[in-house]
Structure 1
């Protein structure tokens, strides 16, 4: 990320292909939410989106459970961890805006509560990890030129590649990405399923995260361009769209 604390993502806006890709993706999301009947949505639709997201995130983390098993409450341990996050996630939207570090910690505590000793829940691994978390929190609260979708993509990549917690960093990163989309008004009712977008593009997802982690502008550029495609796929996975087919 850029060292400019005032607008740490400003440099991304000028990268080739980024403005047009994200404008198209945001237009697609807005059209889907409007045309697929926002006025007809219910808490059950949001709950279904969160459940699908939990399943997809768990699979990316190594779960072998099916969506049907997760829906029935008989998924494996990783799936149960992801579902536990999903049940409380949207209540953390206000916390994300006030205190991102507190939101990150709570998401990790939810994800890892069944497997990690209490004194390590929500705590960064070491001083370096704590510093990375503070930098990511700055991005979450920044009010700069980058579109909300770009902010979400970058927060996701930073959390997963920094691996600041002792476990469950992928689940945390994908959950916080969804939170950013809600908090920044892209998808206020959380009807898109960004986690399913990443699962649908799993090979590209994993390869672009490796490129991002290796450092350098090229890896960041590739990740950001991938993010636009993944968010579009997440919109396609919305219960709204599936219900209308």
Structure 2
């Protein structure tokens, strides 16, 4: 597919993007080559899911310690607990939706919002894009909110790109999916969590991280909400520099997720985990 018909692949020529793609690929290959992965990969996957959910929740305002997330069983008592519970449910659900993503990404997004919302939302606002005049609860993203018609059109365009496939590296595709969903905020709630869950799905489904051991959410949280939102402003700008900065930020997030899972591998190897 040519870059003219594959606009995501064209982003690979932006300054620094090829280097980010290469750096991410090398980092992922290193952790997959760790000796612990040969016999205990399931444990690494489970721990990466937990840590990824914690990181995503932190970006949405529920910055809990990892051990608190690990020990809690009740996630319905108050707002932060509901956010953490939603992040945990999304991380678990993402792995169940891989086969559907390439055929019907909008169906997957609807399912993700339904799972995130749990029993907290009422009526028919769950699992569908918002209609004109419906409010959006996404307190940390203050960019102008696109109208419902624009949201519908851009979601359709994103869906077509995903279904068509292409030659763009996983880093680029996942960064664009993440950024576009955060820009659109298509649902009434939990848009940040859904956007990061969709990023996770792309990274797994692309073959870059098939065992889901490189939690980008960890890296996004480690870089901090301020840096995350600043990089997101680059995506919103649509400029070459802004898009390249957002892709690089997402690449760094994956590398930090790799570092986290490498530390887990080392702890298991020492018998400390």
**Alpha-carbon distance in structure 2 between the residues aligned to 1:158 and 1:213:** 9
Structure 1 residue 134, shift from structure 2 partner: 1.5
Counterparts of 1:57 and 1:237, CA distance in 2? 15
Q: How does 1:220-239 map to 2 (within 5 A)?
A: 220-238=243-261
- Unaligned runs of 5+ residues in structure 2 are 76-80, 131-147, 268-273
1:104 aligned onto 2:127: no
Corresponding residue for residue 47 of structure 2? 48
Name 2:169's counterpart in structure 1.
147
- Give CA deviations for 1:176-229 in whole Å, capped at 9, x if unaligned: 111111111011110111100101112322211122223333221211122222
The residue number in structure 1 matching 2:239 is 216
Aligned to 1:24: 23
Q: Secondary structure at the match of 1:135?
A: helix
TM (norm. structure 1) is 0.91
**1:95 match:** 100
Q: Distance in 2 between matches of 1:9 and 1:197?
A: 23
Matches within 5 A, 1:164-179: 164-179=186-201
Which has the higher Rg, Structure 1 or Structure 2? 2
Residues 142 and 230 (structure 1 numbering): CA distance in 2 closer, same or farther, change over 3 Å?
farther
Any stretches of 5+ residues in structure 1 without a counterpart? Answer: none
Once structures 1 and 2 are overlaid, which stretch shifts more, 47-56 or 34-43?
A: 34-43
Distance (Å, rounded) in 2 between the aligned partners of 1:71 and 1:20: 36
Measure, in 2, the Cα distance between the counterparts of 1:16 and 1:64: 33
What is the alpha-carbon root mean square deviation over aligned residues?
Answer: 1.9
Q: 1:12 to 1:36 in 2, by over 3 A?
A: farther
Q: Contact 2:36–2:265 at 8 Å: present in 1 too?
A: no
Distance 2:99 2:127 in 1: 18
Instruction: Give matches, 1:176-187, under 5 Å.
Output: 176-187=198-209
Structure 1 or 2: larger helix share?
1
Q: Which secondary structure state, in structure 2, belongs to the residue aligned with residue 165 of structure 1?
A: coil
How far did 1:42 drift?
4.1
Q: Which of 63, 66, 87 is the aligned partner of 1:82?
A: 87
Q: In 2, Cα distance between the equivalents of 1:36 and 1:191?
A: 14
- Tell me the distance in 2 between the aligned counterparts of 1:215 and 1:115: 35
Show the counterpart of 1:204: 227
Task: Tell me, in whole angstroms, the C-alpha distance in 1 between the residues paired with 2:127 and 2:62.
Answer: 22
Displacement after TM superposition at 1:153 (Å): 1.1
Match of 2:263 in 1: 241
**Does the Cα contact within 8 Å between 1:159 and 1:169 map onto a contact in 2?**
yes
Residues 1:190 and 2:195 aligned together = no
Match of 2:120 in 1: 115
TM-score computed with the length of structure 2 as normaliser: 0.82
* Count of residue pairs brought into register by the alignment: 241
> What are the superposed Cα offsets for residues 48-90 of structure 1, whole Å, 9 maximum, x if unpaired?
2111111110110011422212111255111011112122220
Give the conservation status (yes or no) of the 8 Å contact 1:13–1:146: yes
Cα drift, residue 17 of structure 1: 1.4
**Contact conserved, 1:13 with 1:145, CA < 8 A, in 2?**
no
The 5 A counterparts of 1:58-73 are: 58-73=57-72
